[in-house]
Every structure is written in C-alpha cells, then in structure tokens.
Amino acid sequence: MTGRPLIMTVVGARPQFVKAAPVSRALARAGLSEILVHTGQHYDWEMSQAFFEGLSLPAPAVNLEVGSGPHGQQTGRMLSLLESTILERQPQFVLVYGDTNSTLAGALAAAKLYVPVMHVEAGLRSFNRKMPEEVNRVVTDHLAAVNFAPTQLAVSNLQQEGITENVFLVGDVMLDLARETEASLEDRKSSVLGPLGLTPSGYVVATIHRPENTDDPSRWKAILESVRGVAEEVAPVVWPIHPRVRHQLPSDLPATIKLVPPAPYLEMQTLVRFASAVITDSGGLQKEAAFRQTPCVTLRPETEWRELVECGLNVLVEPDRTFVVQAVRAAKWPGGDLPPHLYGNGHAADAISQIIDRRHADARRDP
C-alpha cells in the first residue's frame, strides 16, 4: 500500500483480530483504504498468526513487537511507537477495537496527534475500575471522535457520561463473523470433537484468563476446584489454556479436564457450538456462547454484557465448587434464536464502513 491510507487500524490482542476481520472485509468491499498496525501485544503463533490466517485478515503493514510487560510499560512502549507510525503513515482516521492496552495506546496516540479516533465496541461498562479493561474503555470512549456501540445499553452508558455526539448503534461485529461461519461448524464437528474424545452436548468448554481470577491465589485455587468439580460430577471439560496460566496449572488434574493450546477461531467456535455449557471469564466468549445458542456460566462478579444475564442466557457465579457444579447442571438454552434486538442483524461491519465512508465524504467536502 502506498500513499496516505484512509484508515489505520490498531490491533494487538486476540479478540481484536476477531473483531477487525469482518470490518476489514467490509472496508475493502466499500473500496476504503486501510492499513493494519499490530502492536505485538499478543505474539505466540496460537494467539496471533493463527487468527490472521484463519480469518483471512490482511497481514499487518507494521508489527511494533512490543511484547508483554507491566501495563504502564507495555502501553507506554506502544504509545511511543504508534506516535511515530501515525506520523509516518498519516492516516485520516485511526480505528481501534474493544478494551485492551492496544486499544488505549492507539486511541491516545491518535488523539494527541489530532487524528480522529473511531472506537468499535464502545460504551461497554462493568463499573469495576479494578479491571484494566474498564480503565481502557472509559478513556478510549472519551477520546474517540466516533463511537460505534454494539448495544442499546452501551449507548445509554455513553449518554450517562455525556457522550452523545457521533455515537452510532451498529450492532456487534462479532455477530457478523459468527453468522458468516455458522454453516461451516457442522462440517468441523467430527474433526474437532473426535480427537478429544468428545461427543456433541457431552462436554463443557472452559476458558479463564483474567488477572482478577488468575493472579489471586485463593480465587485461582477455587476456580481450579470448580472446574475439577464440573469434570468429576457433570461432564468432561475441554480447556484451551491462555499463555498467562500455562505455568499455574497443577499436575494432578483429572484426565476428564482436557487441557489444550489456545484454539484458533473456527475450532473454538466449533467447541462452543456443540458444548452443553461454557464456563468463562472472557467478555467475548459470553457473547459467542449466546451466538451459538450454548448457555454460559461466567466466573466474575459482574459483566459488561448485562443483557445476556437479564435474558437468562448467562449466569454470574462465584468460583465455588458447589455453586459452579449446580450452575453448569442447571444451564440450559431457553430455546429459540438469540433475540435480534440484543446485538443487531449481523451486518454491523457494513454499517461501520458506511458511516466511515460518509465521514470521509464530509471531510473532503468541508476540510
């Protein structure tokens, strides 16, 4: 790509690759030029490259290779490198996704250079400022020139903080990808479940990676005991292990807990689609479970996806063996499709691209 791109998309962590994929395709369809900048926050093949390949995401124009580190250090390194990259490439807009340190760094670097920031998945709130993501979201929403909200609740959250201009309720881009890939999951069923010895509806998928859960020794112990309880009393558990917890797992877990490496998008979606329940602390997976009509048990005291709890598709449970076993046993999809008012119609990416196109046209008319 030569010349000045219209959009610089900043990504860095696994969930952002998933969100960027449908939007990148929509931008390309609309003929809007985009370059991807990868901060390098996630760098293991399974956490990064596997997603670019599996989702046919264009290769990043630049990889800043910041790697891991304490939050301030990691975000600071990104900020400094993103500033130079924005100055060099001169995009008209910077597009950021979600709530990771890469999101915050992208938004801050752009805003300081007066480049308008556009935030996809804006307005989410857990109201827990101890979550690093909550801090990242709040700051990013306030810096953004345009906020793309996935839900009505997200729009209301923004309104309550005085953000009312250039807020667009577009639906959830993760639903776009879920719809696009739904038909292919049936074909993958036997190749994904077979080697793990799993049968449809005969297992549970678990993912745990939040520092609030993994870095507090007594909470982590209770989580391990809860997963063990499910595996011993309810059904086998398949658990794709985030690298953050790789070295924290005891060696005496039962064989009915099947530890596997982080799964690429389509494999993970297949596991979720055919599971009897999902146990997670991930934000994205709470929604993906709902998109695949699989009930979800969330090991957190609160969630930014409150509408799922209100509709009875997700329950919040303290990590206690008895409670978690009970919740997984009771978990049941209530029947019917995901209510369409929750996350839109599966065309959020096209809506985003049209709005960007309009703003681009306005900026050309009235520079």
Residues that bind ligand UD1 (CB under 6 A): 13-15, 41-44, 47, 68, 99-101, 132-133, 209, 242-244
CB closer to ligand UD1, 58 vs 132: 132
Packed helices 283-291 and 173-193: angle between N→C axes, nearest 10 degrees = 80
Instruction: Choose between 74 and 353: whose C-beta lies nearer to ligand UD1.
Output: 74
Q: Whole-number minimum distance, CB 269 to ligand UD1, in Å?
A: 16
d(CA 176, CA 23): 9
Nearer to ligand UD1 by Cβ, of 43 and 323: the residue is 43
Q: Are strands 277-280 and 204-207 parallel, antiparallel or unpaired?
A: parallel
Q: How far is the CB of 306 from ligand UD1 (least distance, A)?
A: 18
Q: Which is nearer to ligand UD1, 110 or 231 (CB)?
A: 110
Outline where 242-347 has alpha helix (H). Answer: 265-274, 283-291, 306-310, 321-330, 340-343
Kindly report the number of other CB atoms within 10 A of residue 268's CB atom.
20
Kindly list the distances between the CA atom of residue 20 and the CA atoms of 12, 60, 179, 211, 355, in Å, as whole numbers in the listed order: 11, 12, 15, 24, 16
CB of 253 to ligand UD1, least distance (A): 20
Look at residues 139, 151, 171 and name the one whose alpha carbon lies nearest to residue 23.
171
Give me the least distance between CB of 126 and ligand UD1, in Å please: 11
- At 66, is the secondary structure helix, strand, or coil? coil
CB 20 within 8 A of CB 11: yes
Min dist. Cβ of residue 132 to ligand UD1 (A): 4
Please identify, using beta-carbon distances, which residue of 74 and 276 lies nearer to ligand UD1. Answer: 74
Whether residue 254 contacts residue 227, with contact meaning beta carbons closer than 8 Å, is answered with no
Q: Could you give the residue numbers annotated as active site?
A: 209
